[in-house]
Chain A
Amino acid sequence: MSEDGNPLFQLFWTFALISLFAVGGANAAIPEMHRIAVDVRHWMTDKQFADAFAISQMSPGPNVLIVTLIGYAVAGVTGAVVATIAMCGPTAALAYFVSRWLANVRQARWPAILQAALVPLSIGLMAASALVLAQTSDRTWVAVLITLAAALVASLTRFNPLWLLLAGGCLGFAGLL
């Protein structure tokens, strides 16, 4: 990492490394992204990070796209592309090689033990993501209430999540926050 000065190299290494530890998907790595982007590298503020998460959740596509927004904040369009490729490329290549290897040992079913061991871990990571994001977004009691209400409605009903995001946006626009 001698090219520490070049932001594109920094972006690439940061997200390539994070992706390898994203057990359970991109949302599991949000605390680490926040730690590096806000606390270590000072690429963006707390508020910008929360906004990036909000925008990525409103957009269609895999939920990895928060890294596109972080990349853009660091180095514009090039940064957006580099961060996205770094987050998606290495692990996809890994999955490709593992699947080819498994195809040769056909009868070896994906062991249940791995699932039993890794699922709780990834839930813990997701819960940490929720906490980190709540700390950046929920700065008032009204904001906490909106988050809790959204969590309840999403758990108890089958509404399209997009409606809940829109409702949150309307409440924000109305000046409740």
Chain B
Amino acid sequence: MSSEAAPAAADAPDLHNPPPSLAALFVAFAKMSLSGFGGVLVFARRAIVEEHRWMTADEFNETFALCHFLPGPNIVNLSLVFGSRFRGIAGGLAAFAGLVGPPMLLVTALAAIYSHFGQVEALRRVLAGVSCAAVGLLVSAVFRMMWPLLKKRDVLGLLVMLTVFVAIGLLRLPLPAVLLIAVPVSLAATYAKLRWAK
């Protein structure tokens, strides 16, 4: 696959290979999904931009940015948007099914195993250990995302972050209510701040 991709892409300024078939979309997304431990994004970028050259890096970033700021699981949003660019709705569904289907079957099998053996003492202990480590990974992800805000001394951003954390994490308020207030307030405050800075 990749051996024919390299020379074909070299001459055109637009690096696209011929549009992928439905089967190719399904297989490519299934592959990146099943190799994606701890996040699929890295694998998606590698497969779409480097391996298959279906998009340039800039196009990929732009598409992902869109999917990132819309609600819902980002990479799943990306699969439907991406597939439909090439093959319409059918292409979107093929990519979506490839991304979500195989790991969903795998996790369903794990869920069945868990419901039978979840009470086994050894498995309980292993899962307890895994979940402690998994929480640690999440904490690290939060710090990595927070770091740019701290470095920029973005007081407004940190304040928004802290308020949402307190409302959801400590007060355990319902998410829709919190966001219906927080999103407009954060947008208005950010807009006002940018206007003021000019």
| A positions within 8 Å CB-CB of B | 17-27, 29, 31-32, 35, 39, 48, 50-51, 53-65, 68-69, 72-73, 77, 80-81, 84, 87-88, 90-96, 98-99, 102, 110, 113-134, 136-138, 143, 146-155, 160-162, 164-173, 175-177
Surface stretch bound by A, among B5-13, B15-23, B139-147: B139-147
B residues sitting closer than 8 Å to A (CB atoms) are: 33-40, 62-63, 65-81, 84, 92, 96, 99-100, 102-104, 106-108, 110-112, 114-115, 118, 122, 125-146, 149, 154, 156-158, 160-165, 168-170, 172, 174-176, 179, 182-183, 186-187, 189-191, 194
Chain A residue with Cβ nearest B133? A168
User: With the chains together, A23 CA to B38 CA distance in Å?
Assistant: 19
Which residues of B sit under 8 angstroms from A88, Cβ to Cβ? 72-73, 76, 96, 100
Which residue of B has the minimal Cβ distance to A126?
B142
Given contacts A61-B106, A63-B39, are A113 and B143 in contact (CB under 8 A)? no
> What B residues does A120 contact at CB under 8 A?
149, 154, 156-158, 160-161, 164, 186
A-B contacts, 16 of them at CB < 8 A, read: A32-B168, A51-B118, A57-B134, A61-B104, A68-B111, A95-B81, A113-B187, A120-B161, A133-B138, A146-B136, A154-B137, A160-B37, A167-B133, A168-B134, A170-B129, A177-B129
Contacts of B143 in A (CB 8 A): 151, 155
A57 to chain B, nearest CB (A): 4
| Interfacial chain A residues near B179, Cβ < 8 Å | 21, 23, 121
Q: Is the CB of B138 within 8 A of A124?
A: no
Q: A22-B71, A69-B111, A173-B122 are in contact. List 13 more A-B contacts (CB 8 A).
A: A24-B68, A35-B174, A88-B76, A99-B84, A114-B187, A116-B157, A123-B142, A138-B132, A147-B132, A165-B137, A169-B127, A171-B129, A173-B129
B138–A130 contact, CB under 8 A?
yes
Nearest chain B residue, comparing its CB with the CB of A83:
B104
- Flag if B134 contacts A127 (CB, 8 Å): no
Chain A residues with CB under 8 Å of B68's CB are 24-25
User: Given the known A-B contacts A61-B33, A124-B165, are A147 and B111 also in contact in the complex, defined by CB atoms under 8 Å?
Assistant: no
A164 to B138, CA, bound (A): 12
Interface of B is mostly: helix
Q: How far is the CA of A20 from the CA of B71 in the complex (A)?
A: 5
A175 vs B128: C-alpha distance in the bound complex, in angstroms? 10
Q: B92 touching A96 by the CB < 8 A rule?
A: yes
Q: Which 9 A-B pairs have the closest CB atoms?
A: A172-B129, A91-B72, A150-B136, A61-B103, A168-B133, A124-B164, A128-B169, A54-B131, A72-B111
A113 and B146 contact, Cβ closer than 8 Å, known pairs A120-B160, A173-B129, A177-B129: no
Residues of chain B contacted by A113 (CB below 8 angstroms): 187, 190-191, 194
Is A65 within 8 A of B104, CB to CB? Answer: yes
Chain A residues within 8 Å of B131, by CB = 50-51, 53-54, 57, 133, 136-137, 168
Specify the chain A residue showing the minimal Cβ separation from B108: A80
> Hey, which chain A residues are within 8 Å of B65, CB to CB?
110, 115
Within 8 Å CB of A18, what residues of B?
175
